[in-house]
């Protein structure tokens, strides 16, 4: 099962991805994590990406695609994968389809976790993230339940920043919904509910 995850920041994509990974052994491929890991490892792609990141520029599509392709070759991705954070626009989606095709792969579903903007602002502004492992939990959690690290509020989880992130998402990423709808693989789930109820629907939609 090869899936692209869609949804605004804070829609709960990561939570659903974690459950799918735990239950079905899919590889969770977050392009943000890939970029950070490549930069830290100082791999050739990481060194190249760092130049753009240090200059405050977007990392070029082809570089991200190359990182994704490298990751798809890993053993744990052979059972299937969940792409999170990529593609971000239709140009990237077209390139991804072409590259997957060359690898003898294709997408089975584009899963859209749909949540109202006002719910997302409330949800993200009350979210805390672990400095050590990236685990997220509600406000009031001072110590990470996962690794014991310090929990903090990310700058991009502050209300004024969230509004901007949602505007960017709407402009850049929402056309992807039409793209995958046109390909007949879009599956939409209402993410504005209890996590377990959402996950039950996700499994139904994906026939898992």
Per the model's pLDDT, the better-predicted residue between 131 and 31 turns out to be: 131
Measure the CA–CA gap between 170 and 174, rounded to whole angstroms: 5
Residue-wise pLDDT for 164-191, tens only, equals: 878 878 887 789 999 999 999 999 999 9
Structural domains in the chain, CATH included, are 2-114+160-206 (3.40.50.300)
Active-site annotation, residues: 13, 88, 127, 154, 165
Residue-wise pLDDT for 63-110, tens only, equals: 888 889 889 888 889 889 999 988 988 999 999 999 999 999 999 999
Measure the CA–CA gap between 100 and 120, rounded to whole angstroms: 32
Measure the CA–CA gap between 142 and 81, rounded to whole angstroms: 32
Token pair of 25 as six digits? 């052994």
52 CB-contact burial (10 Å; exposed 0-12 / middle 13-18 / buried 19+) = middle
Sign of CA dihedral 88, 78, 10, 116: positive
Binding-site residues from annotation for AMP:
31, 36, 57-59, 85-88, 92, 154, 165
Best CA proximity match to 14, nearest among 137, 144, 107: 137
Binding-site residues from annotation for ATP:
10-15, 127, 193
pLDDT at 16: 92
**Taking the model in full, what pTM does it have?**
0.77
């Amino acid at each position: 099962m090869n899936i692209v995850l869609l949804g605004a920041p804070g829609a709960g994509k990561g939570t659903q991805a974690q459950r799918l990974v735990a239950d079905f052994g899919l590889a969770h491929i977050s392009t943000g994590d890939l970029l950070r890991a490549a930069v830290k490892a100082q791999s050739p792609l990481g060194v190249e990406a760092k130049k753009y990141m240090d200059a405050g520029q977007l990392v070029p599509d082809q570089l991200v695609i190359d990182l994704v392709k490298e990751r798809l070759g890993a053993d744990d991705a052979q059972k299937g994968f969940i792409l999170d954070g990529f593609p971000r626009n239709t140009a990237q989606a077209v390139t991804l389809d072409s590259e997957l095709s060359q690898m003898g792969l294709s997408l089975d579903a584009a899963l859209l976790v749909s949540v109202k903007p006002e719910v997302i602002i409330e949800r993200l502004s009350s979210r805390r993230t672990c400095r050590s492992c990236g685990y997220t939990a509600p406000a009031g959690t001072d110590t990470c339940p996962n690794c014991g690290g310090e929990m903090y509020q990310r700058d991009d989880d502050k209300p004024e920043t969230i509004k901007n992130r949602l505007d960017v998402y709407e402009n850049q990423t929402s056309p992807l919904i039409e793209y995958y709808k046109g390909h007949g693989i879009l599956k939409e789930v209402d993410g504005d509910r209890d996590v377990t109820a959402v996950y039950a629907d996700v499994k139904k939609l994906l026939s898992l």
